[in-house]
Structure 1
């Protein structure tokens, strides 16, 4: 059974038609209201995606004034709700008037359940699409940093550190396994700094052959070596006034480590084949998945360079240690790839969600993104299964704290985050899934600082 129910509100004063419509929509949980006051109460309670509204409501069952007033009230309280107006077969003018006031569509009696079902299904699909587009447009604003998708306490701590470090020019070392998002954090440091209007120049020290890396970093003079037909500045010079991001600095050859150390100390560069010292004003951010202290012990990384590049270190936890982030990230990737590829895939099924949460993710965020993209391309249904993701739902054992109060609070917080992810941040559905009332959920959201 789907976690999120599809709610339909029928506003109709005719008891016989109420019963007919109540059982005509198998895919919806149907609520019934006989007048405006009851309609508004049911609207607040169920937050339906679609409302079927008869314009002839008491105390004006022979006219349309009460129905049009109900229409206005519903749209003022829930403007995203799609309203299908039902009118008599000779009342087309009022139906058109209702559409002009904001109704989604109209239907003329007598009721044909099959046709009305088609209209309601279409209205609900539009409602879902608009809600999803709005959610995605607002999603980035809810994130702690631009370009960083995170809800876990572990990553929120990283983001708070980035906010504190970014305004400074301190040389920063970002540590983390491959695929954890080190370049994203570097980009956030640049964009939040006073150098954000300058360039951020990135170079991967592991991706460039050793014999080319020096000229790539420091540039070269004309005639410095065979093929050097013109003077070419290096990446460090290009970053002047901005940020230089040295990715995988742990793979920097030893002979270049000494030259980089001199630049960090003096802030001047000498091009290959040149003698002139060129001053460069740049902020340095480095990243690596290597254990630099172990490489120092092995004689493969200079200790003095280590202390220069790690004036401040930021460690990004692996995805398996970020409570709730895997499902949030997977949902974002699913939305993005489904739109890009024109696939009508909107969600993960229950087993897929369990698999995403229980899998160890050795390739971290990069692996998650790759699996979701492949699944979107190959899936045949409208939701992704664990088979589509090529994952098995397995339980994982984790060391838990022994303090019972802390265990309970951690469990409650994780359960709320999971339920919110499963229900697309819908408060009513989340409270229902957790088996609590909405006021209780609001209190818990405030207690655990999850109100945003």
Structure 2
């Protein structure tokens, strides 16, 4: 039901370089697309329904982040040789809607752009609502929810560390929402781009995110330290994927500044170490986004569940969300398949035949994930919904590695 999220407008932003895409422009316009040529500097000045990009090398993280901030479904065109050199699975899983080899057949490109447009529309319809909670039933996620309640009312610097895509920005937004500065807009300083003294000064009146702090020069580190010494209650949240600690150990970052930034610390969990949360989160994303287009009854096939379980999830929860949204657009039947998620089916084990016990275990796991997604903060209600005692419910959680 792509028509449920499509719109009459077909605005296609094309990011430079344009040479490899030039021959496609006329057929695209004939098919109803209005093209707008953009540079990385002017990309955010234009509204669109999808984005087309020619790739000839591994894109920088700064470009990927900029593309993500547009909220557009991005279709990448690249020579077959380039697609073999870049990490295609990572790029499509975390950042892009699709990657097509050149030369591309026009019918395939048009179909993919329509799907990318639907993905853009779907994300736009579900991005303006109330902030979600930090979902998860593993001990780390439950601990974070408890700490959110406590730290939301405490001013001062805080270090949020974790792997890419593990929810650091979500955690920062939730902290800001619970702070005394919630009425003010959050500010951000990306030290990989430029240092913003005005944004730093704003940390006394609102939440300021400090990203890529390991890239601060010695002079900039001194300015941050001076600011924190003058304003020890500054609401400065530092987000770190591990580079900051590495810079500290290598002598490239001041220890006294690190100690100031990390007076309080939070750690976001990675997905592969908490497989019990995988299906819970996947179901939550499918329900959240699927309800918008009448696909909230889509279930994951056993093949898809096995593929998700065997995937390493380098992009963590962000990758999972992107793959689920993409699958909702692509799925043709009542179930989401591994191919819809862009995952390869898991290799079947020849010595593991399907038995009645297998079906019982799968049914138990599905039921547990369903109630955990609905009652993640109320284990008593979850147990009552399944019609079992609380001790039995906890035994089932341990049995299926959901806690």
TM-score w.r.t. the length of structure 2 is: 0.54
Secondary structure of 1:355 counterpart: helix
How is 1:15-94 mapped onto 2 (pairs within 5 angstroms)? none
Query: Alpha-carbon deviation of 1:239?
Result: 4.5
Q: Which residue of structure 2 lines up, in the alignment, with residue 318 of structure 1?
A: 270
Give the superposition deviation at 1:184.
1.0
Q: Secondary structure at the match of 1:324?
A: helix
Confirm or deny that 1:173 pairs with 2:159: yes
Q: 1:426 to 1:343 in 2, by over 3 A?
A: closer
Instruction: Look up the match of 1:182.
Output: 168
Q: Rg bigger for which structure?
A: 1
Q: Following the alignment from structure 1 to structure 2, what is the Cα–Cα distance between the partners of residues 305 and 423? A: 44
3-state secondary structure, aligned to 2:208: strand
Match in the other structure for 1:300: 252
Write out per-residue CA displacement over residues 425-450 of structure 1, whole angstroms, 9 at most, x where no aligned residue: 799xxxxxxxxx96545542377899
1:199–1:239 CA contact under 8 A, matched in 2: no
2:368 matched residue in structure 1: 420
Q: Look up the match of 2:316.
A: 364
Change in Cα spacing, 1:176 to 1:416, as seen in structure 2 (3 Å) is: farther
User: Take 1:185 and 1:358, find their aligned partners in 2: how far apart are those partners?
Assistant: 27
State the match for 1:115 in structure 2: none
**1:174 to partner: Cα distance:** 0.5
Runs of 5+ consecutive residues of structure 1 not aligned to the other structure: 1-139, 219-233, 268-279, 396-413, 428-436
C-alpha distance in structure 1 between counterparts of 2:243 and 2:227, whole Å: 23
Give distance in 2, aligned partners of 1:438 and 1:338.
25
Matched with 2:341 is 389
1:196 paired to 2:182: yes
1:155 corresponds to: 141
Decide whether aligned partners of structure 1 residues 154 and 415 sit closer, same or farther in structure 2, where only a CA change above 3 A counts.
farther
Cα-to-partner distance string for 1:297-318 (whole Å, 9 max, x where unaligned): 3232221111110001111111
Q: CA deviation at 1:346?
A: 1.5
Offset of residue 189 of structure 1: 1.6
Q: Distance in 1 between matches of 2:275 and 2:343?
A: 19
Structure 1 residue 328 displacement after superposition: 1.7
Q: Which residue of 1 aligns with 2:191?
A: 205
Q: Distance in 2 between matches of 1:336 and 1:438?
A: 23
User: Aligned-pair distance for 1:151?
Assistant: 2.0
* CA pair 425-307 structure 1, distance change in 2 beyond 3 A: closer
From 330, 334, 356, give the equivalent of 2:286.
334
For residues 151 and 313 of structure 1, the distance between their equivalents in structure 2, rounded to whole angstroms, comes to 21
1:203 touches 1:246 (CA, 8 Å); kept in 2?
yes
TM-score under structure 1 normalisation? 0.48
Q: Displacement of 1:242 after TM fit? A: 1.9
2:216 to 247, 252, 262: 252
SS in structure 1 opposite 2:253?
A: coil
Deviation at 1:384, TM superposition (A): 0.4
- Deviations 1:67-93, CA, capped at 9 Å, x for gaps: xxxxxxxxxxxxxxxxxxxxxxxxxxx
- Gap runs ≥5 in structure 2: 1-128, 348-361, 376-384, 399-403
1:197/1:368 CA distance change after superposition, 3 Å: same
CA distance in 2 between partners of 1:392 and 1:153 (Å): 30
1:198 Cα deviation (Å)? 3.4
Which whole-Å deviations, capped at 9, do the CAs of 1:87-139 have from their partners, x for residues lacking one?
xxxxxxxxxxxxxxxxxxxxxxxxxxxxxxxxxxxxxxxxxxxxxxxxxxxxx
Please name the residue that 2:329 is paired with: 377
Shift of residue 176, structure 1, vs aligned partner: 0.3
